[in-house]
A and B are shown apart, each in its own frame.
Chain A
């Protein structure tokens, strides 16, 4: 056996070590992207989250107008951070439908009182059933739904000011 062959295992070991070191230094992306993007909304009918509010159903989304579906909760801290951006979207004429996860009417009312109410209606998802059906894995998440009720885009995490134009562009695209 020639001598250089003795170094093959060492070389392989160094290669594996190098690969591991490289991968450990890569930034970790732990967002879980929904596989529902591009598919129609699942069938659902959520009761109104606020006393005297409107229930939320998938049928509402099939009238030709693109909307945002905002999955949030009054107990969620990043939801406070995104409230001004939702307000800005609302002012830009975007209809935002809310889905409140595991939330109480009085807590929701208090949140909207403090942080503003950009929602056309809010449905209550007390067992995270719609959240699971949407492939959403946390709060807040925002889905762009086109006028046929197809999920066109998923925004994971709070909406920061730089995301507002992105979402407006997605909504325009969904209009076409």
Chain B
């Protein structure tokens, strides 16, 4: 039992990936003073994807790079930039990857078209069946 506990402690103590020793960016963990601006920043940060810790938003991640991205989002919003303009700037650099709000494009249109098509097909099938059951008296 004691050996197992030591083993667990050793497992927990394995060093994580190399990271820098710099303090986090000023706005990485500090909110903006204006609650309305902070809310705008928050909304954008929740829909921007972290680059080093894929499948998390930058609002959720403790990676230093995500902290630097939060700093950038907050300081730009504090200087009056529109959130969608910042998203556009990020997408100019990282493509669709960076945004959790997919745009319609040449590669993504099936995402939007397929559900509509399925609903249409289901609707047609349903209406035909209903009409048939009405035509055949039970």
Chain A positions near chain B (C-beta within 8 angstroms): 30, 32-36, 73, 75-77, 101-104, 107, 126-129, 131-135, 137-138
Contacts and interface: CB of A to CB of B under 8 A. Distances in A.
Name the residue in A73, A103, A128, A131 with the highest tally of chain B Cβ atoms < 10 Å from its Cβ: A128
Main secondary structure of the interface of A (DSSP, over half): loop
Given A126-B22, A129-B72, A35 B51 contact: no
Contact of B69 (A35, A103, A132, A135): A132
B21 A75 contact: yes
Nearest to B49: A32
A133 B93 contact: yes
A40 to B, nearest CB: 12
B21 A127 contact: no
A102 B64 contact: yes
A135 B25 contact: no
B68 interface: yes
A89 to B, nearest CB: 23
B34 interface: no
9 contacts: A32-B97, A35-B94, A75-B20, A77-B18, A102-B64, A127-B72, A132-B90, A137-B52, A137-B94
B132 to A, nearest CB: 11
Nearest to A35: B95
B54 interface: yes
A20 to B, nearest CB: 16
B68 A138 contact: no
B103 to A, nearest CB: 13
Interface in B12-54: 18-22, 25, 51-52, 54
Contacts of B51: 32, 137-138
Contacts of B54: 30
Contacts of A126: 22
Contact of A135 (B52, B64, B65, B93): B93
B116 to A, nearest CB: 18
Contact of B93 (A35, A73, A75, A127): A35
Interface string B69-107: 101100000000000000000111111010000000000
B52 A132 contact: no
Contact of A73 (B20, B68, B71, B97): B20
A128 B69 CA distance: 8
A106 to B, nearest CB: 10
Nearest to A137: B51
Contacts of B72: 127, 129, 132
B94 A34 contact: yes
B92 A127 contact: no
Contact of B68 (A75, A76, A128, A135): A128
Contacts of A104: 21-22
